[in-house]
Structure 1
Amino acid sequence: MSGILDTVNQRTQLVGQNRLELLTFRLIRKQRYGINVFKVKEVLQCPKLTSIPQLHRLVKGVAYIRGQTVSIIDMSLATGGSPIIDPENHFIIISEFNRSTQGFLVGSVERIINMRWESIMPPPEGTGSSNYLTAVTEIGGELVEILDVEKILNEISPVDERIRDDVLALKPVVTAGDEVRPNKVLVVDDSNVARKQVKRAVETIGYEVLLAYDGRDALNQLQALSQECDIYKELVLVISDIEMPEMDGYTLTTEIKKSSNLKNLHVVLHSSLSGVFNESMVKRVGADAFIPKFDPNELSAAVISAVTGQKS
């Protein structure tokens, strides 16, 4: 376990190289799962849990860790399996998603594997919108499932998607004599929940949304659109997640900025990843802004700023 923790502490090395480190674990079934190490703060033997009134059914209890009260989510139960019995004989993965810290109760934690995003693939067709997979990969001849943690967290604590009136008021009033502005936004995210959240926010402030499921899909769409029309008259900006199958958001941004047909597109990176390294990586790849997930007001203000030509 100490070896895993040592590797977790070195996780920022692979940022921007279209690579990731995947922490693999199992629940109480034989199936193997993975989580991006960037989202892992530490791995611990599960401490004694405290039950409090009105906990969500997926929350096993709360623990006091490093001066913070952390909700511990039973990942087996959350993915449709049986609950994990005797949690103190199992492990928790402490992670940070969408500006909050939580613990994922798992059966066992295995090892960290260095991979390329090209080896991470979207879920197989036919798995349906109700599944908890965001991607799959193969390690040693064994299928590893990468869970859509944002979907699980949104079930436990749904995000308030309402946009404040003062943000809506920022959108410029269009009159008959005004120059026609681009009105489309490309939203790129491998999480079905995240795509829908961003889509609703962008449509609420009056813009048309195009959807892409990963960086490769987004780049293909952008290249095709640039061949069909003046892309700058159609597309106001790209909002992209960072960690995605096949091509991550940093690599997507790099490809956009080095393309003669796309380089002037406004790119906002929108991710549940956190940490100081984001600021330097945003500048290194040429993105115009970074917004942590998910605040509909921040996101809407960034879209409006891009449309009006103001700095976001």
Structure 2
Amino acid sequence: MAGVLDSVNQRTQLVGQNRLELLLFTLKGEQTYGINVFKVKEVLQCPPLNEIPNRHPVVRGVAHIRGGTIAVMDMNLSIGRGPLDDIEKCFVIITEYNRSTQGFLVGSVERIININWESIHPPPKGVGKENYLTAVTQIENQMVEIIDVEKILAEVSPLSEEISSGVIEDGIGEKVIQKHILIVDDSMIARKQIQRVVEQMGIKTTLRKDGREALEYLESLVNEGKNVAEELILIISDIEMPEMDGYTFTAEIRANPALASLFIVLHTSLSGVFNEAMVKKVGADSFVAKFHPDDLARLVNDRVLQMTGESLLEENEE
């Protein structure tokens, strides 16, 4: 138990300093790619793969690993390129996203680096909206491309964005018709997923792609003389973002008297135990794991009732 707690403490210190660790890998050729170590459970030489009928084209097969069966996706195929060759010489990066485990076939795995989020930037505008990058950085004069894994997973195994019946109250959006929710996420797919859930509730949204951009937006509202807490129902923020991560974004909000009272939800596919520690450390109000529309809708529903005083009234009536 002490070892687990030490690990939590080390990782929370890392992310609390606006830093992350990237696992670097290659596919075909010399281009280097990266993935956040937080998402990685294991890296191993590609095991024997069993083909399955009617599988998605990017799924090379399934593997039996540590007593479980996981799908192994060809990362090169996933980003719209050709299949990797000689897969027995390739590696599999086993990751955990959205409460599920999957494997990504890559050509080689290089090393882990520790880097500041400020050194990671959004993809250049010229790459277009259909690219598979969520960010880029430079390591030793070499460009490293960070792949939008959530986009890949949304295409291979689309998640439902529909809210189940009975999860939210009828007319919940009418209670906050003049207010909106700020959604902050570097993945365009993730932003749109959250937006569609919130708009099903009849609530308006504002989108920003990273913590720094979102903070500048909030500060601009303050400079215009607006009461931001009156306009925003809550902020739904990713944790892993270029320029400024969600933890630092939250800490910056809490340090600004004009913004400090905002309700902040960290919405993430990272491990829950680390998030529980960091929610307390940086002062966020809650976190919800990606991507479960009912959980997200329920949290927004409860926040609206809290703002309007109806949840407190119901408790008193009981």
Aligned pair count reads 299
- Asked if structure 2 preserves the Cα contact closer than 8 Å seen for 1:181 and 1:233, the reply is no
Aligned counterpart, 1:278: 275
What is the rounded CA distance, in whole Å, between the counterparts of 1:204 and 1:294 in structure 2? 16
Structure 2 residue 78 is matched with structure 1 residue 111: no
- Residue 115 of structure 1 aligns with an amino acid whose one-letter code is I
Report Cα offsets for 1:49-85 as digits up to 9, x if no partner. 0111111100010001111111101001111221012
Consecutive unaligned residues of structure 2, counting only runs of 5 or more, are 1-6, 313-318
Amino-acid identity (%): 58
Q: CA deviation at 1:277?
A: 1.3
Taking structure 2 as the reference length, the TM-score comes to: 0.90
Q: Cα RMSD (Å) of the superposition?
A: 1.7
Q: Aligned in 2, Cα 1:13/1:37: closer, same or farther, shift over 3 Å?
A: farther
- Asked if structure 2 preserves the Cα contact closer than 8 Å seen for 1:25 and 1:32, the reply is yes
What is the rounded CA distance, in whole Å, between the counterparts of 1:76 and 1:124 in structure 2? 20
Report Cα offsets for 1:129-180 as digits up to 9, x if no partner. 1100000000010100000000000000001011112023265485xxx8x6
What is the rounded CA distance, in whole Å, between the counterparts of 1:32 and 1:13 in structure 2? 27
Q: Aligned in 2, Cα 1:308/1:182: closer, same or farther, shift over 3 Å?
A: farther
Structure 2 residue 211 is matched with structure 1 residue 215: yes
Aligned counterpart, 1:3: none
Aligned counterpart, 1:243: 240
Q: Aligned in 2, Cα 1:185/1:278: closer, same or farther, shift over 3 Å?
A: same
- Residue 263 of structure 1 aligns with an amino acid whose one-letter code is A
What is the rounded CA distance, in whole Å, between the counterparts of 2:281 and 2:297 in structure 1? 24
Aligned counterpart, 1:267: 264
Structure 2 residue 46 is matched with structure 1 residue 46: yes
Aligned counterpart, 2:200: 204
Q: CA deviation at 1:106?
A: 0.2
Q: CA deviation at 1:12?
A: 5.5
Q: Aligned in 2, Cα 1:81/1:112: closer, same or farther, shift over 3 Å?
A: same
Aligned counterpart, 1:23: 23
Aligned counterpart, 1:224: 220
What is the rounded CA distance, in whole Å, between the counterparts of 1:61 and 1:104 in structure 2? 11
Structure 2 residue 121 is matched with structure 1 residue 125: no
Q: CA deviation at 1:243?
A: 0.3
Pick one of 281, 301, 305 that aligns with 1:304.
Answer: 301
Structure 2 residue 278 is matched with structure 1 residue 288: no
SS in structure 1 at match of 2:150: helix
Q: CA deviation at 1:182?
A: 5.2
Q: Which of the two has greater helix per residue?
A: 2
Q: CA deviation at 1:227?
A: 2.4
- Asked if structure 2 preserves the Cα contact closer than 8 Å seen for 1:122 and 1:136, the reply is yes
Q: CA deviation at 1:86?
A: 2.3
What is the rounded CA distance, in whole Å, between the counterparts of 2:249 and 2:260 in structure 1? 11
SS in structure 1 at match of 2:102: strand
- Residue 85 of structure 1 aligns with an amino acid whose one-letter code is D
Runs of 4+ in 1 over 3 A off after TM superposition: 10-13, 170-174
- Asked if structure 2 preserves the Cα contact closer than 8 Å seen for 1:202 and 1:208, the reply is yes
Q: CA deviation at 1:11?
A: 5.4
Q: Aligned in 2, Cα 1:173/1:183: closer, same or farther, shift over 3 Å?
A: closer
What is the rounded CA distance, in whole Å, between the counterparts of 1:237 and 1:182 in structure 2? 13
- Any residues of structure 2 matched to 1:79-118 within 5 Å, and which? 79-118=79-118
